[in-house]
Each structure stands twice: as C-alpha cells, then as structure tokens.
Amino acid sequence: MGLKKELVMHGEDLQNFDVVAGEGIKDSEEEIWFETASHPFESNNNDENKDANMSNENDFLDVDVSDPSSLFYADFPPLPEFPCMSSSSSSSSTPVATVAPKPLGVCSTATTSSSASTASSGAASWAVLKSDADQDPEPVTDHDLVQRVEEREILMDDVDHCMDMMQNFGCIDMLENTDICWDPSPLFEDNNGDENECSQYQFLQPEEVLVNRQIVDEDEEERVFEHGVVSGGMGGQNSGEPGSSTDDLALVFFEWLKSNKEAISAEDLRNIKIKKSTIENAAKRLGGGKEGMKQLLKLILQWVQNHHLQNKKMMMSGEDNEFHAVNTDHKNENATTSDTSAANPSCAPESQCFRLTTWLPAPPPPQSYVSESPVMVPMTAPPPPPGFPPTIGYMGGDPYGGGNPTAAYPPMPPSDYHTWGPTPMQYGMSPHYGGYPDAAAPFGGYPNPPPYPGFYYHPGPTEGLVRLGSSATKEARKKRMARQRSQMAEQQHAAAVVGNGNCGVVAPHGNWVYWPPPPPPQVVAPQQVNHPGPMVGQMMPPQPPIERAANGYQKQVGIEKKQGWKTEKNLRFLLQKVLKQSDVGNLGRIVLPKKEAETHLPELEARDGIPIAMEDIGTSRVWNMRYRFWPNNKSRMYLLENTGDFVRSNGLQEGDFIVIYSDVKCGKYMIRGVKVRPQQQSAKPELTNKKSNKTQKTEPTSSPAGNGPSSSPTVTQS
C-alpha cells in the first residue's frame, strides 16, 4: 500500500506544464521520473503483458521519450469533466494495494467515472493519481514476477470498471511497471551502488522495499528510471525554456522531494498521473500561468504526500494481513465515501482520489460528469464492455454500467473485452478471505461452481489473488491458497440464500470501485432508487417527477446516498445480451452468449445446469433463474431460464438488453435490464440518437409493470 503515485506527465503537457526543471533536479543528483512512452517493462514483460495492456494504453506508453518534458497527457479532458483527479485511491486502490502488488486496482473508480467516456476511446485523457498497491511485501523472484504478470493478465479479464479505466488509459501498464523493481535511489540519495540492483531500497520505506524488490530486469528498471521518469518528464521541456517560472516549479518540486524522500519513493511519484487538461484547468483556477502551475504543483505534492503517508501507515499495520489491510481500507473508503459522494461520487475522499476540485475555487458542476459530449460516449474505439460503468461513463448513467442504452448500444463488447484488466477489487477480493460467507450464495447452494469463476475457477487468477496477497514466500502462499480453498468450500456450502449475503443489498462497504455519477435522472434515477422498472416511464414509480427531472446529477447523488448502497458497489461485468424476440417472448428463457457464459458463469456439468440467483440491480429483487445449456450441434447453447418475470417486470423488449454482473464482494450475481427505447419525455437528445441501430422498436413499452415482482423471484429486499 505504499501509496505509490505516479505522476505521469507526458508530452505536450509539459509544454503547458513546466512543472519541474529537470535540471534542477539533476543538479541535486536526485532524479525525478515521469513515465514516458517507452516503457521498458512493457517490452520486457512477456507478451501477455502487452496484451493485458490495452493497446489503447499507448497513450501512456507512446509518449515520446525524447520529450521528457511531457509531464502530462495531452488528451485529458477538461477539468470540468473530471472533477476528480483520482489516484488510485481508496476504495479501489486500497484493496488492491493491500492485497495485490498491482496498482491495477489502483485506478480509482473515480477516475473511471469521470473518464468513462474516454476510456473507450482509449484516450489517455486521464491523469491518474494512482496509489499503487505495490506493496507486496513478499520477496519476489523473477519467476514469480513472470508468474505474477501472467496472473495479472488473467485477472484482467475480470477487470472492473475501474480497472478498465486503467487499462484504457494505459494505467495498467504503469501499474504493471510499478511492481517492477526499479531503483529509485537516484532520486533520493546519492547512488552508491548500482542502480540496477533491485536490492537497493534502503531509503525506501519497508513496505516499499518489499514491493519494489520485486524485481525484474534491472536493465529495464534502469531504463525506466532514466528515460521515463526523471529525465523524460522534466528535463526535456524545461531545457527548452529555462524560464524562471519553470525553475520555480522545479524548485518547488525538488524541495518537496527532499523533504519527503523518506516517505515517498520515486515509484510513488511515478504513479501519479494527471490529465493534462485537468492540470491546465486546475492551474487556471489557481490563477493561471506559471503561478497557477506552481500552486497546482504544490497542491498535488501535498496531496501525494498526505495520501501516501496515510496509506503507508495502513500498510505498516501488518504484512501478512492482506485482508486486514483490505478491510481497513474499506472502512476508510466507506467512511469517506459518504462525504464526497455528493460532490463526486466516484471519488473517494480519503482515498487517493485526487480531487482538485476541493482545492479549487470553483468546482466544476456535477453535470460535467454527465458530459454528454460525443466524446463521452464510447460508441467507437475500443468499446469497453458495455457493462462497465466507468468505461462507459455514462452508460445511461447507470451506475451499474447497465447503462445508457445510448452508450451501450450496441452493447456487445468486443470479444476480447475481457482483456480489460481486473479491478482492484478482484485482487482485493478478499471477501472470500475476509469472510463473506455468502459468497457462494449465488449458486443457491450449488457446490461446484465457484462464485467467481474468474477467481477460483481459473488457476491463473486464483493464484494471482493468492499471490497477490502478501505472502512472503511461496510457502506462505501455499498456505494462503489452502486457506482460501477451505474458506471457499465453507462458503459454498454455507451459502444457501442468494440474496442474503453479507453483502446484502445494503450498503456494501469497501468499495474499491466507485461507480460513476448517476446519469441522466430519467434513466438512472429509477433504478437507483430501487424502483422496479428500469427506465421505463410507466415503471417509474414513486419518484416524483421532479426527482427524475433535470436536476440531474446532484439529485441523483442524493438519492443514491439515501439508498446507501447503490452508490458504490463492486460489480464485475460478466456479460450482456441484447434481447431478441425469443428472449423476451413467453418462453421465459434468454439465450446467453456462449463465450461469455463459459467464461464468466459457472461451468456446467449437466444439461440441467444450475439454479442461479440473479439480483435485479434495479429493484434488488432476487430472481431465481436457472443457468443451463442445450446441446447444440457439437456445441452448447447457454440459456438463462425462468426469466419471464424478470423480463416482464422490467418491461424488457426486443432490442433491450440485460447485463449480468457479479458482486465482487458477495459473489452473487446481479442482473439488470436495460431498456434501449427512447426515454420518454425527459429523454435527452443524445439518448435518442444512440438508439439508432438495432431493432429499435420504439414501441411504447408496454409496461408489464403490472407484473411487478411476481412469484418466482425471491424478494430479498426492496
């Protein structure tokens, strides 16, 4: 948990943000790095790594090394859109940090939310202050490292929204790199020894040392250090314009470094990423010009310092207690969450979420999140899994990513969407560890299928999780594994009722992932509010029109708060299916996409399949469905049966879609029906556009609403 933050500054940004005078730094013999495009690690890490890293990440990676000055990414959206500069913070990051060495989790969801739209575009518009979780105390061998990388990759499949963001923005890469051992020494002290030696971390905090020890190619490390970080970031540009202001910035930074070298590692710094646009905007708010930059830099540094130290404390609490740590984090997160949620739900206050807004005079209006600009709508580029809220940002504003049909539609994610990194949560998935007895619940007692196929089913991921834990040795790891297995078993047996897990439908804690701010009221509100019908007008009940109306975001947040849990939930996107006529007909069954089903749902041994409880995200009702398959030719056709009531109660029709998630904490499955039809009255224009393709039978949603929650579903709550 050493909160490692990477201050990633890239290219053009430098021009705008002459933050540090590379020279000044060099003079002092201390180096500051900023990641540059050429990531040594990327190349070194196996191919998988590359795969794992979204190609989009290029934004991060593709920085011209030659342009060291690049401190920030150019593509960052305007501040308003991203009120929160997130660092991997709290929620998401924390867990990750604790459990997993990977900063992956770090990317705070907050980031996600704001960046949501960008993600798809692969835009690196984010500046991510990511706290990195690199704190893996356990010594790592090269072999381990490799393994870890692989594991991570696997995990990536399950990535959470948050993670997606990371990946999209190339954060993953950075995260990956973070784990790698690099020698920060140059930064903080005179180098005596070889900088290449990973072993040199005397100056680092204990946790960091452990983490950093992790290894890897020294050469790479060195390279990173040289290119990416320091020199790259600061030097280049400044050299160009050695203005006094620039020097000031450099000086400020340098001074800060000197005073904090004990507590903050180069890695930490390296992990701080801030969007260019964000920086620019922030700087403007702070007075603009060099002075503004200077102020901003100070703020950032302060923030880094505070959070870093904070996290470290947490880390210090124990080494082998990943869970403990995780829990702790959660607490923090939760506690904080409430505070900020109003302003920026996606951002965990205490978490590393870097919220410039708090510092800035005029925080951007909430609406900014809901930016409806085309940019926000990932209809193009690497479409993130529709289900990913963050990515989609506004998927209809649905915090669960079910999203706005607009964005989501056509929902089908690329087949390889699973490559989206795992979310922090996944790593942190300590629920199993931490005691979420009901994790298995979703299976209705079905012993075999692990709640998280991704985790327990697949060796890779599983190990990854375990490994990510902080076991110091392989032995320790094994023990942990064993422990985990036994717990799993217990959970599975114990779990009887699906909807009732500890997770309950009620305020979950420890969200590592923050859902993006609510979308347009009309769309999201209803669900958020636990109203049965998704966005169908008729189905929207109780919510006074006003509530749903334009007040939008703020209100939404308020509602969410009231609702408590919805605001933050750790849901992992599993799959989605555009409903066909046959799916919404009276057959009461929905054909599921084979690949996703096999990948994310429990493996089916028999044709009869297994009962599977699906909690309706919108209503919190638990529908007892059956997941099964039919032999089909030489293959299988996967179905979700007993979906009739669900479909009717949600007024789903052909062209609408369902999104299935798994609650990362409880392991239960969550389902959400998303209507694609044009939102009645209040529907925003955009939405309308999006619906374009597909069978948009804009038939008035006959609201079967009347059916409401009916028989089959076990009402867990509501």
Minimal distance in Å, beta carbon 637 to DNA?
5
User: For DNA, which is the closer residue by CB, 710 or 718?
Assistant: 710
In the complex with DNA, the residue whose CB is nearer, 67 or 583, is 583
Does residue 637 bind DNA (CB under 7 A)? yes
Is 607 near DNA (CB under 7 A)? yes
Q: Does 641 bind DNA (CB under 7 A)?
A: yes
Classify residue 507 by its DSSP letter.
-
User: Cα–Cα distance between 347 and 517 in angstroms, integer?
Assistant: 9
Helix (H) or strand (E) holding 660: strand 657-663
Tokens for 389, please give them: 């809220």
Residue 546, number of CB atoms within 10 A of its CB: 10
Question: Does residue 561 belong to the site contacting DNA (CB under 7 A)?
Answer: no
The minimum distance between CB 413 and DNA, in angstroms, equals 12
110/356 Cα distance (integer angstroms): 13
Residue 631 touching DNA (CB under 7 A): yes
Instruction: State the minimum distance, in angstroms, from the CB of residue 591 to DNA.
Output: 3
What's the min distance (Å) between Cβ of 640 and DNA?
Answer: 11
**Interface with DNA, residue 591, by CB under 7 A:** yes
Tokens 């990371």, residue? 166
Q: Is 518 in the site for DNA (CB under 7 A)?
A: no
Closest contact distance (angstroms) between CB of 716 and DNA is 23
DSSP 601-636: SPPP-STT-EEEEEEETTT--EEEEEEEEEEETTEE
- Length of the chain (residues): 718
Of 185-193, 262-270, 549-557, 636-644, the window that binds DNA (rule: CB under 7 A) is 636-644
578 belongs to the binding site for DNA (CB under 7 A): yes
Q: Which stretch binds DNA (CB under 7 A): 115-123, 203-211, 625-633, 708-716?
A: 625-633
Toward DNA, which CB reaches closer, 192 or 711? 711
Position among 6, 547, 583, 616 found at the interface with DNA (CB under 7 A):
583
How far from chain centre, in Å, is Cα 34?
22
Q: Are the beta carbons of 134 and 212 closer than 8 angstroms?
A: yes
Considering only 581, 681, 689, 693, the residue that binds DNA (CB under 7 A) is 581
By CB under 7 A, name the one of 50, 261, 483, 594 that touches DNA. Answer: 594
Distance CA 658, CA 718 (A): 20
Report which residue type is found at 47: D
Decide if residue 608 touches DNA (CB under 7 A). yes
Task: For residues 433 and 403, give the distance between their C-alpha atoms in angstroms, rounded to a whole number.
Answer: 31
User: Pick from 510, 588, 618, 704: which binds DNA (CB under 7 A)?
Assistant: 588
Please say whether the beta carbons of 471 and 630 come within 8 A: no
| Residue whose C-alpha is closest to residue 291's, from 343, 240, 245, 359 | 245
The footprint of DNA on residues 59-118 (CB under 7 A) is none
CB of 632 to DNA, least distance (A): 5
Give the C-alpha distances (Å, rounded to integers) separating 208 from 202, 343, 434, 483.
10, 33, 24, 26
Count of Cβ atoms closer than 10 Å to residue 544 Cβ:
9
Determine if 707 is a binding residue for DNA (CB under 7 A): no
- 711 binds DNA per the rule CB under 7 A: no
Compute how many other C-beta atoms are within 10 angstroms of the C-beta atom of residue 134.
33
Which of 29, 374, 496, 630 is the binder for DNA (CB under 7 A)?
Answer: 630
593 binding DNA? (CB under 7 A): yes
Check residue 655 for interaction with DNA (CB under 7 A): no
Residues that bind DNA (rule: CB under 7 A) add up to a total of 24
Q: Enumerate residues 6+ apart whose C-beta is below 8 A from 634.
A: none
Strand partners, 663: 571
Q: How many CB atoms are closer than 10 A to CB 670?
A: 28
Is residue 582 part of the contact set for DNA (CB under 7 A)?
Answer: yes
* Cβ within 8 Å of residue 379, ≥6 positions away: 120, 407, 690
Asked whether the beta carbons of 431 and 667 are under 8 A apart, the reply is yes
Token output for 73: 């990414």
Residue 502 CB, shortest distance to DNA, in Å, is 32
* Site stretch for DNA (CB under 7 A), options 356-364, 563-571, 584-592, 678-686: 584-592
Region of 38-46, 513-521, 576-584, 682-690 interacting with DNA (CB under 7 A): 576-584
| Least distance CB 401 / DNA (angstroms) | 19
Task: Specify the 3-state DSSP secondary structure of 6.
Answer: strand
Counting contacts by CB under 7 A, is residue 697 touching DNA?
no
What is the rounded CA–CA span in Å between residue 233 and residue 65? 9
Residue among 380, 635, 692, 698 that touches DNA (CB under 7 A): 635
CB of 619 to DNA, least distance (A): 22
**C-beta of 589: minimal distance to DNA in Å?**
7
Distance (Å, rounded) from C-alpha 407 to C-alpha 389?
A: 10
Sheet with 610-616, strands from edge to edge, namely: 571-578, 657-663, 669-674, 610-616, 622-632, 635-641, 589-592
Q: Is 586 in the site for DNA (CB under 7 A)?
A: yes
Sign for the CA dihedral angle at 106, 108, 109, 115 comes to negative
User: At its nearest, how many Å lie between DNA and the CB of residue 580?
Assistant: 3
Q: Which one of residues 580, 700, 702, 706 is an interface residue with DNA (CB under 7 A)?
A: 580
Which is nearer to DNA, 578 or 666 (by Cβ)? 578
The answer to the question of residue 335 lying near DNA (CB under 7 A) is no
Q: Does 606 bind DNA (CB under 7 A)?
A: no
Q: Which is nearer to DNA, 315 or 578 (CB)?
A: 578
Among 313, 478, 493, 595, binds DNA (CB under 7 A): 595
Residues lying near DNA in the complex (CB under 7 A)? 577-578, 580-583, 586-588, 591, 593-595, 607-608, 630-635, 637-638, 641
